[in-house]
């Protein structure tokens, strides 16, 4: 008899032993992808080892159901999964879950639909190849990056918005492809990948593969298969999940917009960060990693300071131009002067009108989607709250619903107060849907679109909105944070931020860093060509330090924020682990929290806060308590985490979420 130990993509700490039917024994090897059953449910698993003798009663061992027709997982990829599992304190099975998507389960059944989609992608890649023309500064940057790579060092490319980082990425990608090495190009959002995809397809005909969660299973199956089995190199454009593709000859990893929090996986273990995991993957495959951003994360700046990353700057815009000026509008003072109409200051309305007259484009940012952020009874003060999360629900006029933006609970909007019977309810706050409506009343001739989670649920609609704005067929685009990320619009000259205090008032030690990054990114969307741009910030907190930094930028701004972070002992100068326990039963929650407190004291962690309720203390019908564990950056970090995980691993994943390096 032959037996195998396999890793199943669930929270099993150890491997599971299965017997191998005789007809499969000559084909199964370490790394083989197989199908097995656990408690009557089928799973895709990977073989860790092949052996002749089991460690327990063979009569209780179930057989492998089948071998999936797919190349075995390589040793390098298994080493990567082990490193991810160890760092992010999860089981190897949970890490393998990302490397064994549902698409793998269908690999043995290719069909005509899959072939048609693959052929369609190949046709889309057809174009005229050629490298972009680089400026002198870009050429110097490429030369510097090459030198650092030759020294075995990873690089942070810090380029101002519009400086042409994408052209540098494409130049380096072409070099590695010509050497027969594949390139992984990561972006933070699907919408960004769609815009860059068309540019890459022109430069890399037949070599571009795109991989993200919104694609069809057939498409992802094709990409997965090509990466695993093809002898030719590819440029893979993907989101963070693309890190878990079965790479064979990876030559370069590019992480664009490395500061973006969308790179952080938060829903399930492993709760990994795409930027940091890319550095792990590069180390495993002995290939360099290039991080790029106009607003680098403090973590990357810290790694530059400590010598873990080399630094290459780009200080000029590729197309020249004057960049963007900043105007901060004090909405409290404007209201006193009666210089406000609806959510807009007269200053902003005049600026929009001027752009429309010159046939230029406008971007309006509001951090909240929906029509109103809440509803309230004007008589008794009742506010409809989510039954699962106990937070006010937002009102969406387009479908007349109330929706929770945490758990997605949705119900019809109320016509009368259920508490006192009065009607109608008042609307509180204004989201992107209301902003769009108000703009249409002020500028009835303007072509206005909205770009948020409500309007981009459909892939075709998302592409249409971006394409029309890029082609100048839309005058004003209203959106949430999605519109700040890496887009390049030629005719955009005005970016406006409404209720900017919502960006700076977040209860988070990273609030100032993120606010500055977001506002600089938005400012960088405007004035990217010959015409100068402007950013108008409307706020009731005009004296906030972040707005002063934008008005009067100085070379020591980031340094002062970093020093403040260091003074209070927060990352990147320390490390954090967040332990979050949840239960629908408060008594059980308190019991689990008491048990975790005891574990933390036994494992030697002394700088612990909690248990305490997070800002949203109930979600999806479950109450939440959390601990924040802080440590200094010492070498025993890995051992300390291992000891803690050994004590915590018996707690079900449904009750405990372990988040290493949380982004909050």
Residue carrying structure tokens 């019991």: 591
What is the pLDDT, as a whole number, of residue 616? Answer: 86
Do 112-314 and 324-369+431-562 come out as alike in CATH topology?
yes
Whole-number Å distance between alpha carbons of 247 and 285: 9
The residue among 255, 214, 663 whose CA lies nearest residue 486 is 255
Q: What is the rounded average pLDDT of the residues 337-351?
A: 96
pLDDT digits (tens, 9 = 90+) for 457-497: 887 888 888 889 888 899 999 998 877 766 677 788 999 99
Whole-number Å distance between alpha carbons of 181 and 197: 20
What is the pLDDT, as a whole number, of residue 420? Answer: 92
Whole-number Å distance between alpha carbons of 97 and 108: 19
Number of neighbouring beta carbons within 10 Å of residue 36: 20
Residue carrying structure tokens 């993907």: 238
Q: What is 2-100's CATH topology?
A: GIY-YIG endonuclease (3.40.1440)
Under a CB-based contact definition with an 8 Å cutoff, are residues 447 and 476 in contact?
yes
What is the pLDDT, as a whole number, of residue 122? Answer: 37
- Taken as a whole, the chain contains a residue count of 664
What is the pLDDT, as a whole number, of residue 116? Answer: 28
What is the pLDDT, as a whole number, of residue 560? Answer: 86
pLDDT digits (tens, 9 = 90+) for 428-448: 989 999 999 999 999 999 999
Instruction: Indicate the pLDDT class of residue 69, thresholds 50, 70 and 90.
Output: confident
Q: Domains of the chain: which residue ranges?
A: 2-100, 112-314, 324-369+431-562, 574-660
pLDDT digits (tens, 9 = 90+) for 561-603: 898 898 888 999 999 999 999 999 999 999 999 999 999 988 8
pLDDT digits (tens, 9 = 90+) for 133-148: 899 999 999 999 999 9
Whether 103 has a pLDDT exceeding 70, the answer reads no
- State the SS3 of 261-278: HHHECCCCCCCCEHHHHH
Q: What is the rounded average pLDDT of the residues 237-255?
A: 95
pLDDT > 70 in the chain, percent: 93
C-alpha distances (whole Å) from 350 to each of 345, 347, 494, 550 are 9, 5, 12, 22
Strands 250-256 and 182-186: parallel
For the segment(s) 574-660, the CATH number from 1.10.645.10, 3.30.70.600, 2.40.50.140, 3.40.50.720 is 3.30.70.600
Q: What is the mean pLDDT of the chain?
A: 88
Under a CB-based contact definition with an 8 Å cutoff, are residues 315 and 160 in contact?
yes
Under a CB-based contact definition with an 8 Å cutoff, are residues 451 and 477 in contact?
yes
Of 49-53, 85-89, 130-134, 511-515, the range with the lowest mean pLDDT is 130-134
Of 54-58, 117-121, 143-147, 342-346, the range with the lowest mean pLDDT is 117-121
Instruction: For 580-646, give the DSSP string.
Output: EEEES-HHHHHHHHHHHHHHHHHTT---EEEEE--SS-EETTEEEEEEEEEEES-TTHHHHHHHHHH
Under a CB-based contact definition with an 8 Å cutoff, are residues 233 and 181 in contact?
yes
Whole-number Å distance between alpha carbons of 652 and 290: 37
The beta strand positions in 283-360, using DSSP E, are 289-293, 310-314, 324-330, 340-341, 344-345
Report the DSSP beta bridge partners of residue 298.
none
Whether 130 has a pLDDT exceeding 70, the answer reads no
Q: What is 324-369+431-562's CATH topology?
A: Rossmann fold (3.40.50)
What is the pLDDT, as a whole number, of residue 528? Answer: 58
Whether 107 has a pLDDT exceeding 80, the answer reads no
Instruction: Indicate the pLDDT class of residue 527, thresholds 50, 70 and 90.
Output: low
Report CA torsion sign: 342, 345, 350, 352. negative
Place domain 112-314 in its CATH homologous superfamily: P-loop containing nucleotide triphosphate hydrolases (3.40.50.300)
pLDDT digits (tens, 9 = 90+) for 258-308: 999 999 999 889 999 999 999 999 999 999 999 999 999 999 999 999 999
Whole-number Å distance between alpha carbons of 52 and 35: 20
pLDDT digits (tens, 9 = 90+) for 542-565: 999 999 888 887 777 788 889 889
Whole-number Å distance between alpha carbons of 512 and 578: 21
What is the pLDDT, as a whole number, of residue 362? Answer: 94
Judge if pTM exceeds 0.85: yes
pLDDT digits (tens, 9 = 90+) for 173-231: 999 999 999 999 999 988 777 778 888 998 898 899 999 877 888 788 788 888 988 88
Question: The tokens of 391 are what?
Answer: 């937070």
DSSP 378: T
Whole-number Å distance between alpha carbons of 497 and 171: 35
Instruction: Indicate the pLDDT class of residue 111, thresholds 50, 70 and 90.
Output: very low
Question: The tokens of 409 are what?
Answer: 């609970």
pLDDT digits (tens, 9 = 90+) for 372-414: 999 999 999 999 999 988 889 999 999 999 999 888 899 999 9
Whole-number Å distance between alpha carbons of 582 and 626: 9
Q: What is the rounded average pLDDT of the residues 629-648?
A: 86
What are phi and psi for residue 237, nearest 5 degrees?
Answer: -95, 120
DSSP 484: G
Whether 353 has a pLDDT exceeding 90, the answer reads yes
Q: What is the rounded average pLDDT of the residues 621-631?
A: 93
């Amino acid at each position: 008899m032959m037996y195998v130990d396999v890793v199943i993509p669930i929270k099993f700490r150890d491997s599971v032993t299965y017997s191998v039917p005789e007809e499969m024994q000559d084909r199964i090897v370490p790394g083989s992808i197989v199908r097995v059953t656990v408690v009557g449910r089928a799973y895709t698993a990977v073989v860790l080892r092949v052996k002749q003798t089991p460690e327990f009663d063979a009569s209780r061992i179930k057989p492998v159901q089948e071998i999936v027709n797919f190349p075995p997982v390589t040793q390098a990829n298994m080493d990567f999964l082990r490193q991810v599992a160890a760092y992010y304190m999860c089981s190897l099975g949970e890490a393998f879950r990302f490397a064994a998507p549902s698409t793998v389960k269908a690999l043995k059944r290719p069909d005509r639909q899959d072939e048609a989609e693959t052929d369609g992608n190949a046709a889309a890649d057809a174009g005229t190849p050629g490298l972009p023309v680089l400026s002198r500064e870009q050429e110097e940057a490429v030369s510097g990056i090459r030198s650092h790579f030759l020294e075995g060092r990873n690089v942070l490319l810090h380029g101002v918005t519009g400086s042409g980082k994408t052209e540098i990425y494409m130049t380096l990608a072409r070099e590695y492809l010509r050497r027969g090495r594949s390139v992984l190009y990561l972006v933070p959002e699907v919408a960004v990948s769609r815009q860059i995809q068309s540019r890459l397809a022109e430069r890399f005909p037949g070599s571009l593969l795109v991989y993200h969660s919104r694609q069809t299973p057939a498409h992802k199956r094709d990409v997965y298969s090509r990466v695993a089995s093809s002898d030719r190199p590819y440029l893979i454009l993907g989101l963070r999940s693309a890190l878990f593709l079965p790479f064979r000859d990876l030559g370069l990893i590019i992480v664009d917009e490395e500061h973006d929090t969308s790179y952080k996986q938060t829903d399930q273990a492993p709760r990994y960060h795409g930027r940091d995991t890319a550095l792990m993957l590069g180390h495993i495959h002995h290939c360099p990693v290039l991080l790029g951003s106009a607003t680098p994360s403090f973590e990357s700046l810290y790694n530059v300071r400590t010598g873990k990353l080399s630094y290459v700057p780009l200080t000029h815009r590729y197309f020249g131009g004057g960049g963007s000026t900043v105007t901060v509008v004090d909405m409290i003072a404007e209201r006193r002067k009666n210089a406000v109409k609806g959510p807009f200051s007269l200053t902003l309305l005049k600026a929009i009108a001027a752009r429309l007259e010159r046939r230029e484009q406008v971007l309006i940012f509001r951090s909240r989607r929906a029509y109103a952020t809440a509803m309230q009874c004007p008589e008794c003060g009742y506010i409809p709250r989510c039954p699962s999360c106990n937070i006010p629900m937002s009102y969406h006029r387009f479908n007349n619903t109330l929706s929770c933006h945490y758990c997605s609970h949705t119900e019809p909007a109320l016509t009368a107060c259920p508490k006192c019977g009065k009607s109608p309810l008042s609307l509180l706050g204004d989201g992107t849907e209301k902003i769009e409506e108000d703009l249409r009343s002020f500028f009835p001739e303007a072509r206005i679109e909205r770009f948020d989670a409500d309007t981009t649920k459909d892939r075709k609609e998302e592409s249409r909105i971006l394409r029309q704005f890029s082609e100048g067929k839309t005058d004003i685009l209203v959106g949430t944070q999605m519109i700040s990320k890496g887009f390049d619009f030629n005719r955009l000259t005005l970016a406006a931020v409404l209720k900017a205090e919502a960006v700076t008032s977040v209860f988070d030690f990273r609030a100032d860093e993120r606010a500055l990054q977001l506002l600089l990114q938005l400012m960088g969307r405007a004035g990217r060509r010959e015409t100068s741009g402007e950013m108008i910030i409307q706020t009731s907190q005009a004296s906030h330090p972040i707005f002063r930094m934008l008005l009067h930028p100085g070379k020591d701004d980031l340094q002062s924020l970093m020093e403040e972070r260091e003074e209070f002992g927060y990352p990147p100068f320390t490390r954090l682990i967040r332990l979050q326990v949840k239960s629908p039963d408060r008594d059980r929650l308190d019991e689990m929290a008491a048990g975790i407190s005891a574990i933390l004291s036994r494992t030697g962690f002394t700088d612990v806060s909690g248990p305490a309720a997070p800002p949203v203390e109930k979600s999806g019908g479950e109450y939440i308590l959390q601990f924040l564990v802080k440590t200094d950056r010492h070498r025993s970090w890995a051992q300390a985490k291992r000891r803690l995980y050994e004590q915590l691993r018996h707690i079900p994943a449904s009750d405990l979420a372990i988040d290493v390096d949380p982004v909050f």
